[in-house]
Amino acid sequence: MSHELIFPYANIVTGVLLFIIAFVFHWVGQLISVVNWDFAMEIGLQEKKALPEYKVYEHGIACADVALGWIYGIAAVGLILNVGWAYQLAWFPAVVLIYHGLRAWFWSGNQKKAGHQIVSNRFLITWCFVTIVCGVLTVAVIW
């Protein structure tokens, strides 16, 4: 199955970005959080200053991400290899990345309004931007 690419090697660039951002940073990071939350806080994957009720929510998100996020790696490798099924499978990480970028932006904004800014603005802007751009690029390539 041949796909018209938006730029040369777009499938490879997108596959590599999905592998690094979605699979390594997101899925592996969440896996570490599920396996050892204290270690995840120690290395900066989870916020030490989070209120207990925030930790419960964030742990639930981490569990859901770990249950489903392994698909990101498979989709990424498939795009790199330019196999047809990867273009359908990559819809999942594409929309999840956009969702997570938007979720993080509004969740952090709500925390800040409540007087509990637990992530730096620089980190938040960077994470949301990179996550959303990777998701949008993936949609553009697989469309």
Summarised one tens digit per residue, pLDDT across range 13-29 is 999 999 999 999 999 99
**What's the whole-number mean pLDDT along residues 18-46?**
94
Under 8 Å between Cβ of 85 and 78: yes
**What's the whole-number mean pLDDT along residues 90-101?**
96
| Dist CA 132 CA 66 (whole Å) | 19
pLDDT at 63 over 70: yes
Find all residues with CB under 8 Å of 133, minimum gap 6, and list them.
none
Is residue 17 classed as helix, strand or coil in its secondary structure?
helix
* pLDDT score recorded for residue 2: 59
* pLDDT score recorded for residue 1: 52
